Structures are given as C-alpha cells and as structure tokens.
Amino acid sequence: MKDRAASLFPLLMLVLLAALTFWLNRVIEGDKPRGPQRHDPDYWVERFEVRRFDLDGKLQHTLVADKLLHYPDDDTTIVTAPQITYHQKAPSEVSARMAYVGRDGKEVDLVDEVRIIRHSAAGDSPPTVVETRTLKVFPDEERGSTRDPVSITQGKSVMHGKGLEIDNRSGITVLHGRVTGTLHRNRTETP
C-alpha cells in the first residue's frame, strides 16, 4: 500500500502543478475574448491643428486636418484631408485626401490627390507644384518618395516621371523612370 501511495505522489504533484498553471494563466490573461478584435476607433479628433518645433524652439511644421481616427487593434491612425506646412524661408505645403500614420508617427502615407507646393525663397518665380497619387513622407526628415506617376509644374514648364524622391531641406527632387517635359524660360528682350 505504501508503494502504491509513493508511486501516485508524483502524479498528484503533476496534476496540482497543471491546475496551478491554469489558474495563474486565468488570473494574468483574464477573460479576454479569443476571437478577432473589432476594428473600432478608440478615439477621434475633428478639425485640429498640430505644430512641431525643432530643438531650438523654432516652428518646423504645422499639420491641419479635418479628422483623425485611431484604431487600437492594429495601432493605425487615419487622417482625413491633411495639410502640412513646412515653415522655412521658402515654405512648402503638402496636402492629400487621406493619410495613414505609422505607429510612431515617423512615417506617413499620403493617398489620393497628393499635392506639394514649394514657394520660391525670393518670391520672384512661380511656385513649383508636384502632383501624384501617393507619397510616403518622413516628416521629421522632410523627405518623401513615390513610385506612382508624377507631374511637376512651375509656371509654363511641365515635367512627368514614373516615380520621385524629394528632399525639402536640400530642395532636391529626383524623378525616376522615363522623364518627359517641356521647359519654358523667361526671355527678356534686349534692344
């Protein structure tokens, strides 16, 4: 009889450990539903303005939009009608119909009717306007890129490309693919 009780002791300890593990798991996890989470916003903001300052306290850029929705299940943020203004000597404005903001806010995907307007520093030439369907923007670095067709106009000059990389700080824009266009220059008549 003692041998039988001694052989059942490890089995009893194993059952006790399994029950303890199950109980701890229920306490830690709680009674969470096991199915897929609903895709409902946990907060939203309407008609808002956000200003970003650099380390010296100088206004870097401003974001104005109609609506912002945040979804906790996949941590996505959707912004409707965003308009970003970069405040420099030659200000730049970026707008789109919709924007998808990454988890940390360092990456923004602009979608539908993306338009960039870069004003001239001296104000003596017409602004440069970039139009495309999508644009991936890195707001803190003031860079962006797209693989969609792009149209760039400045006054009567027009350029078309199959993709683009843009750097607002350096003012350099690189068109990709087959680039076509018409460049007009201002002629001054000399007697």
The domain limits of the chain are 1-32, 43-182
- Through-space distance between the first and last CA atoms of the chain, rounded to whole angstroms: 125
pLDDT at residue number 165: 94
Structure tokens at 81: 């009608």
Structure tokens at 34: 């096991």
Q: Which residue has the tokens 């644009």?
A: 135
Segment 76-81 mean pLDDT: 91
Q: Which helix (H) or strand (E) covers residue 149, if one does? A: none
pLDDT at residue number 163: 93
pLDDT at residue number 33: 59
> Distance between CA atoms of 139 and 109, rounded to whole angstroms?
11
Answer whether residue 108 shows pLDDT above 70. Answer: yes
Answer whether residue 191 shows pLDDT above 60. Answer: no
pLDDT at residue number 124: 77
Give me the CATH code for the 43-182 domain, please. Answer: 2.60.450.10
- Written as one letter, the residue type at 173 is T
> Distance between CA atoms of 100 and 157, rounded to whole angstroms?
32
**Inter-residue contact 54 to 62 (CB < 8 Å):** no
pLDDT at residue number 31: 62
pLDDT at residue number 148: 94
User: Per-residue pLDDT tens for 19-72?
Assistant: 778 777 777 776 665 656 677 788 889 999 988 888 888 888 888 999 999 988
User: Per-residue pLDDT tens for 114-134?
Assistant: 999 988 877 678 899 999 999
pLDDT at residue number 32: 62
pLDDT at residue number 2: 65
Predicted TM-score (pTM) of the model is 0.72
pLDDT at residue number 26: 77
**Inter-residue contact 99 to 70 (CB < 8 Å):** no
pLDDT at residue number 36: 63
**Inter-residue contact 136 to 107 (CB < 8 Å):** yes
Segment 147-165 mean pLDDT: 93
> Distance between CA atoms of 133 and 140, rounded to whole angstroms?
22
**Alpha-carbon distances, residue 3 vs 6, 10, 12, 16, 178 (angstroms):** 5, 12, 14, 20, 87
- On average, the pLDDT of the chain sits at 84
Helix (H, G, I), strand (E, B) or coil at 78: strand
